[in-house]
Amino acid sequence: MEKQRLDKIIASTGKWSRKDVKLLIKQGRVLVNGVPAGSGDEKCDPSEAIIAVDGEDIGYRKVTWLMMNKPVGYLSATEDGRGETVLDLLPQELQRQNLFPVGRLDKDTEGLLLLTNDGVLAHKLLSPKYHIDKVYYTRVQGQLEEADCRAFREGIVLGDGLHCMPAELEILSVGEVSEAHVTLREGKFHQVKRMLASRGKPVRYLRRIKMGKMTLDPDLLPGKYRFLSEDEVEKLRE
C-alpha cells in the first residue's frame, strides 16, 4: 500500500480528529513500530506499520463501513448541486475517504443507510441476485386492511405496469393514520411509496429500519453515524 501521513492514517479510524492526533503525538502517546512518532507528517504504509495509541493498536482498516441514521432533508448521493448530501454530515477526514451510500433513500425518508468505500461488497448487497430484505416502518394516510397485505404478498402491479416482487406488509396499527412494517426484496425508485399509493394509502412518513441482518442502531439519532464493527462487516459478507 502507498505511504500516507501518520496523522491522516490515525484520523481515518474516526476515533480521533486531526487536532487530537497532533496532541497525542506531542504527548508521546503514538508509537510506530514501537518507536514514538515525531510528528504527524511522518509517512508510513498503514498496512505494514504497527501504529499504537496508548499501547493499543489503532485498528486501521483498508475499507470503511459506516451506519448512518439518515435524517430527512439530505440526499443519499455523493454530490448534488441541488442540496446537501449525507456526506455533508461526516467530518472532513471521512469525507476524504471516497465513501458512498449503499443504495438510496429518498430525501424525505429517514433511517438506516450504510456508507462505504468497499465497492465490491456494496455492489453485492445491492444486486437483486442476492435478494437482501429491506424493512421499513411507515405511517400512511387511511386504514390499512388485510386486502392490502394480500396484494403485497401477491405482488403489486403499479400504474405504469411495473411488476413488484411479492412483499410483506405487517399492519401495526389502524386508524385515520395507520402504521406498518413493509419488507421488500428489491429497491425500485420510490417503491414503498408507490406500492402504498397504489392501494390508496399515501405514505406520510418512512424510515428504513433493517437491511439484511443489519438493524438500525437505536442509539443513533437522525444525522448521526457510527463505524460498523468487524463482526458486523463479517455478517454483511455472509
φ/ψ of 211, rounded to 5, equals -140, 110
Pairing type for strands 35-36 and 30-32 reads antiparallel
Q: How far is 31 from 25, CA to CA, in rounded Å?
A: 8
User: With CB under 6 A as the contact rule, which of the stretches 43-51, 81-89, 145-153, 187-195 interacts with ligand URA?
Assistant: 187-195
**Least distance in Å: CB of 70 to ligand URA?**
9
Which residues are CB-neighbours of 143 under 8 A, at least 6 positions away? 174, 175, 176, 178
Per the annotation, the verdict on 41 as an active-site residue is: no
Task: Work out whether 18 is an interface residue with ligand URA (CB under 6 A).
Answer: no
What are the distances in angstroms from CA 86 to CA 98, 135, 221? Answer: 13, 20, 14
Query: Which CB, 25 or 206, lies closer to ligand URA?
Result: 206
Q: How far is 25 from 214, CA to CA, in rounded Å?
A: 36
Task: Work out whether 193 is an interface residue with ligand URA (CB under 6 A).
Answer: yes
Q: How far is 35 from 23, CA to CA, in rounded Å?
A: 17
Annotated active-site residue in 20, 80, 106, 133: 106
Query: Are the C-beta atoms of residues 114 and 65 closer than 8 Å to each other?
Result: yes
Task: Work out whether 206 is an interface residue with ligand URA (CB under 6 A).
Answer: yes
Task: Work out whether 168 is an interface residue with ligand URA (CB under 6 A).
Answer: no
Which residues are CB-neighbours of 179 under 8 A, at least 6 positions away? 137, 138, 139, 140, 171, 172, 173
Task: Work out whether 138 is an interface residue with ligand URA (CB under 6 A).
Answer: no
Query: Which CB, 30 or 182, lies closer to ligand URA?
Result: 182
Query: Which CB, 40 or 101, lies closer to ligand URA?
Result: 101
User: With CB under 6 A as the contact rule, which of the stretches 14-22, 29-37, 191-199, 210-218 interacts with ligand URA?
Assistant: 191-199
Query: Which CB, 18 or 103, lies closer to ligand URA?
Result: 103
Q: At which residue does the C-alpha cell 412494517 appear?
A: 181
Exactly one of 190, 209, 217, 226 binds ligand URA (CB under 6 A); which one? 190
Task: Work out whether 180 is an interface residue with ligand URA (CB under 6 A).
Answer: no
| Cell numbers standing for residue 9 | 492514517
Exactly one of 80, 106, 168, 179 binds ligand URA (CB under 6 A); which one? 106
121: three-class secondary structure by DSSP: helix
Exactly one of 12, 13, 64, 109 binds ligand URA (CB under 6 A); which one? 109
Exactly one of 105, 135, 214, 236 binds ligand URA (CB under 6 A); which one? 105
Q: Which residues bind ligand URA (CB under 6 A)?
A: 105-106, 109, 190-193, 206
Active site residues: 106
